[in-house]
Structure 1
Amino acid sequence: MLLVNNVTKSYNETPALRGVSLEVPTGAVFGLLGPNGAGKSTLLKLVMGFIAANGGQIQCQASPQHIGYLPERPSFPETSRVDDYLRTAASLAGLRGRAHRDAVAGVLHTVGLSDMAGRRIRTCSKGMRQRLAVAQALIGDPALLLLDEPAAGLDPAGQVQMRNLILSLQQAGKTVVLSTHQLNEVAQLCSHVAILSAGRVTRIGALNSVLLAEPHVQIKVDAHLLEPPHADLLTALRSQAPDIAVEGNRITLVGAAIAHKTAVLRLLLDAGLDVQGLVQQQANLEEIYLEAIRP
């Protein structure tokens, strides 16, 4: 659906994106995850054609006028009614006659605002405004949706409503690119994820593969390994692989070091230590995220 290849963008010589490449499959919910200032909003604006890249290519099966876009801070004509605002959006999208009427009624139903159609926008809550912004993005039935921080500022109930709405859009066959810095959104919604930090992609792939990318093994023994009596054992452990970390009475194996688990256990037992526990697990999204954005 969307291919971004080595895209760069700077503002007044300040880099915002530094060679970003990613591919969004059709039908995916693709999470752009990263802290504020990572370049997520800039990337979405480039896809929409609102700004121009300094380098690289963006290829999309949908043209910008056929992409649904929710900006990070949507604004509305405060005195307009909800349905009037959407009628205007439908007209700007080129819809006429029955298609125009059906589009407005359809998006109001999709976002759960049918009962609020006659309300003035100035009387709408933050959650209603966010749903209205999504409704506007859905006018014209776009296949690709770009949602920039859709749950920003919402209370817990509003976040659940937005999450359910995005899931319903995926079930309806939409491709969704979701920009966020909220880990729970990505974990519950996304099939794919790219983590951005300082304008660079630091992790990318299907969510399951990203989570499986950093498994680790933790071994607990009955002695403090950093104390002088265990200096030779510590040297022997660290010689096994560079990814062995020792802290107190715990040894953590990550990456290539996991393959040396048996050798590490043999060293510990030969040294007369009691192995009190061994846990092997994949890293969670929070651990991967914090590692990915580390300077």
Structure 2
Amino acid sequence: MNRSRPARAGPDPAEGAEARGPRGGHPLVAAEALAYSYPDGSPALRGLSLEVRDGERLGLLGPNGSGKSTFLRLLAGDGTPGLRRSREVDGARDRWFVPDQPVFRPWLTGRENAAVLLELRGASPAQARAEATAWLGRFGLAEDAERAAGTYSSGMRRRLALAVAFAAEARLLLLDEPLAGLDPPGRALLAEALSGHREKGRTTVLSAHDPAFAAVHCDRVGFIVDGRCQAVDPPARLLERVGVRPRVEIRFADSAPPDLETLPPPPSGVRSAAWREGAVILEVEDPRPALPEALAWVLRGGASVTSVDVREPTLADAFLILTGRPLEAEGA
């Protein structure tokens, strides 16, 4: 029987991003009932309202097709009705956008690609090469800096795009799915760079499909569904708003589930029970006293238990409760 609790991949969200969140950061960009349609007329944003605050890391969570990428592209552009910008990010040089599929000149080396982009931003050739070298090293590409970018894997291209983005030191950094293609060391490097960018007083908006990363490394998280922002708050506050509690999943042998007709009411520590094929998922106040009581409860119903897992509440749980939609991708 497996009673182990999954290890955390970082600090507790309740003790992390909210405590580190910006205090009193004024809006750099404010979207007010922002609407946008694709060239074929289909709507992408349907009255999205959301502020991007100075000095914060703002995460966007939502299924595919919810409007996250469109919102980031509009933040990167100019003259969009419904977007009000502060003077700090009024110019194109104040913003840097990394798309979900970054493109480089395949015949140039990684260092050359990075240096060219930094020169186009205004750096001198010597400064651009120095910054490119430094940031390629920080993102683990020092040994591959002289290789042609066309030979890079998708993960290496992602690291190259992120190295250039942080080297640019824009006041507002916009990252579309920066975790895509990154291995665990790459994610750790991204988290470190995000923290350093924030310590310099700069702002990052990133979209992601990983609620665990957003919970630890974003100061606020916005839930985007159908082109609207359904909720935005620090991660711990989102969980507090919906009262999400730890969950215990008890799985049964196929031949021996509990007899629901003879099963007594759940013990006092169980707030709710959701029955699924071959399992029951219990929402509990505290797993420590609730776990033995829950096991004794299902065993009294004649069940044969094969596994027990305890899972802490996540932003995916809060997303489902607040939006009524699962966070998983629902289509392009």
Q: TM-score, normalised by structure 2?
A: 0.64
Aligned pairs (5 A) from 1:57-76: 57-60=83-86, 61-62=88-89, 63-76=91-104
Q: How many residues align?
A: 247
Alignment pair present for 1:292 and 2:318: no
- Which letter maps to 1:204? V
Q: The residue matched to 1:165 in structure 2 has which SS?
A: helix
Q: The residue matched to 1:213 in structure 2 has which SS?
A: helix
Tell me if structure 1 keeps the 8 A contact 2:223–2:229.
Answer: yes
Residue matched to 2:36: 9
Task: Answer with 176-185 or 123-132: which moved more.
Answer: 123-132
Tell me if structure 1 keeps the 8 A contact 2:59–2:206.
Answer: yes
Larger Rg: 1
Aligned pairs (5 A) from 1:118-137: 118-137=146-165
- Coordinate RMSD, CA, aligned: 3.4
- Give the alignment partner of residue 179 of structure 2, picking from 148, 151, 154: 151
Residue matched to 2:56: 28
1:86-121 Cα deviation digits (max 9, x unpaired) = 221122112225543443334334433333321211
Cα distance in 2 for residues equivalent to 1:186 and 1:127 = 20
Residue matched to 1:186: 214
Residue matched to 2:140: 112
Task: Answer with 117-126 or 129-138: which moved more.
Answer: 117-126
Cα distance in 2 for residues equivalent to 1:251 and 1:86 = 51
Cα distance in 2 for residues equivalent to 1:251 and 1:120 = 53
1:238-259 Cα deviation digits (max 9, x unpaired) = xxxxxx97879x9989xxxxxx
Tell me if structure 2 keeps the 8 A contact 1:89–1:139.
Answer: no
1:77 Cα shift? 1.2
Return 5+ residue gaps in structure 2 as ranges: 1-27, 247-259, 262-270, 276-280, 285-311, 326-332
1:16-35 Cα deviation digits (max 9, x unpaired) = 11111111222211101101
1:128 Cα shift? 2.0
Structure 1 209/92 Cα, relative in aligned 2: closer, same or farther at 3 Å? Answer: same
1:24-78 Cα deviation digits (max 9, x unpaired) = 222211101101001000001101117x75x522314312332121110111111
Cα distance in 1 for residues equivalent to 2:54 and 2:65 = 27
Tell me if structure 2 keeps the 8 A contact 1:31–1:194.
Answer: yes
- Which letter maps to 1:285? L
1:136 Cα shift? 2.2
Tell me if structure 2 keeps the 8 A contact 1:7–1:58.
Answer: no
Residue matched to 1:140: 168
Residue matched to 2:192: 164
- Which letter maps to 1:5? E
Cα distance in 2 for residues equivalent to 1:210 and 1:74 = 32
Residue matched to 1:275: none
Aligned pairs (5 A) from 1:241-280: none
Report which of the two has the higher share of helix: 1
Q: The residue matched to 1:151 in structure 2 has which SS?
A: coil
Q: The residue matched to 2:237 in structure 1 has which SS?
A: helix
- Which letter maps to 1:294? G
Cα distance in 2 for residues equivalent to 1:118 and 1:246 = 57
1:188 Cα shift? 2.0
The one of the two structures with greater contact order (alpha-carbon pairs below 8 A, sep at least 6) is 2
Tell me if structure 2 keeps the 8 A contact 1:194–1:203.
Answer: yes
Alignment pair present for 1:49 and 2:77: yes
